Amino acid sequence: MLEKFMRRLELDDIDKSALSKQFSFFLEEEVGRNNLGSPLNGDLTTKVCQINSKGKAKLVARENIIVCGLALVPLLFESFGLKKLEFETNASDGDEIRSGTEFARIQGFENQILLIERTMLNIIQRLSGIASKTKRFVRLASPYGVHFLDTRKTTPGLRQLEKYATACGGGKNHRLRLDRQILIKDNHLASKGIRSPIQLEDFLKKIRENQPDELIEVEIDDLEQLKAAMKSGIDAILLDNFEPERVHEAVQINQNKCILEASGGINESTIEKYARAKPHFISSGAPIHASRWLDIGLDWY
């Protein structure tokens, strides 16, 4: 059962059709709707400067990064109608790149490179920031045998990319969408009027009976709910906003009967305290919503 939580979003898992549509919107965002037939006309600065000769540019890390987004660049070029641009890289998504290192090159008409520059850098800088911060979370938790999970606290429209960046940073991906897993949260229980441990146990048993093959997880707030959930036959229990000491107590009570996930306000400064309690997983949205864009430059050569 633990393996079902060990999912990692690979490049082949990304919906390329949806991503292509998204990149087409990025083009509209960059040049305006009226220029979609001829995007180069939308770059007024490059146009008035009469920049149209061929050139070469390189991508350089200006700080240490876990790079992410390189595999998306060819599709981005295609979506922008820049199929003649050549992109070469000696790195792969998830690689550690040291500050000052050149890790990719682009060749083609300079006006096309200038058209794609900002959007391409935005994607790589954003995703590399997530991957790099995720890597720090993973390095803090993994010595204790604890795995790191992301959440659905993602930027609307960018979930695929941000969860891909989490995977490139060494994290595991929690459910991508609502149709991927049953996760019964506090508001589900509140809407059903479930307040006591016995009500919770009975409710979860019925769901287990009706969904024998689905992965079922429930969010709980206290140890009495933990004991009730353990008796119900479900697979996993999310310990919501437990302090590290209470997580440790839950682990001792559980004795590996169910998968335990600790979540709620966990950040880079507190994750190791939770990891010492040794739940199976720690989840946090911080690598996505609290990461910063990393410094990556595009320079002519």
Domain that holds residue 128: 10-133+292-300
HSE-CB of 244 using CA atoms within 13 angstroms: 12
Domain tally, the chain: 2
| Candidates 47, 62, 98, 118; catalytic one | 118
Active site residue 240: yes
Does residue 184 share a domain with residue 88? no
Q: Does the pLDDT at position 3 exceed 90?
A: no
Q: Residue 1 pLDDT more than 80?
A: no
Query: Is 14 inside a domain boundary?
Result: yes
Using an 8 Å Cβ cutoff, are 55 and 300 in contact?
A: yes
Name the catalytic one among 21, 83, 98, 153: 153
Do 143 and 271 fall within a single domain?
yes
Distances (CA, A) of 182 to 3, 174, 214, 218, 287: 16, 11, 7, 8, 24
Tell me which residue has tokens 């790149």: 97
Is there a single domain that holds both residue 85 and residue 183?
A: no
State the average pLDDT over residues 185-203. 97
Known active-site residue 231: no
Whether residue 6 is predicted with pLDDT greater than 90 in this model: the reply is no
Q: Which of 217, 219, 235, 261 is catalytic?
A: 219
* Shared-domain flag, residues 100 and 241: no
Do residue 112 and residue 152 come from a single domain? no
DSSP state letters, 52-90: -SEEEEEEEESS-EE---GGGHHHHHHHTT-TT-EEEES
Task: Tell me, yes or no, whether 55 lies in a domain.
Answer: yes
Return the CATH number at 147: 3.20.20.70
pLDDT digits (tens, 9 = 90+) for 256-276: 999 999 999 999 999 999 999
Contact at 8 Å (CB) between 253 and 220? Answer: no
Model confidence at 135: pLDDT above 90: yes
Selecting among 21, 47, 185, 257, the annotated active-site residue is 185
181 and 113 in a common domain: no
Confidence of residue 4 (pLDDT cuts 50, 70, 90): confident
Q: What is the pLDDT of residues 7-64, one digit of tens each?
A: 899 999 999 999 999 999 999 999 999 999 999 999 999 999 999 999 999 999 999 9
Active site residue 185: yes
Q: What is the CATH number of the domain that holds 15?
A: 3.90.1170.20
Q: Is 117 annotated in the active site?
A: no
Pair (111, 242) in one structural domain: no
- Which residues are within 8 A (CB) of 55 and not within 5 positions of it... i.e. 6 or more apart? 107, 108, 109, 110, 113, 300
Examine the residue annotation and report whether 209 is marked as an active-site residue of this protein: no
Q: Which pTM does this prediction carry?
A: 0.95
Average pLDDT of the chain to the nearest whole number: 96
Would you say residue 2 lies in a domain?
no
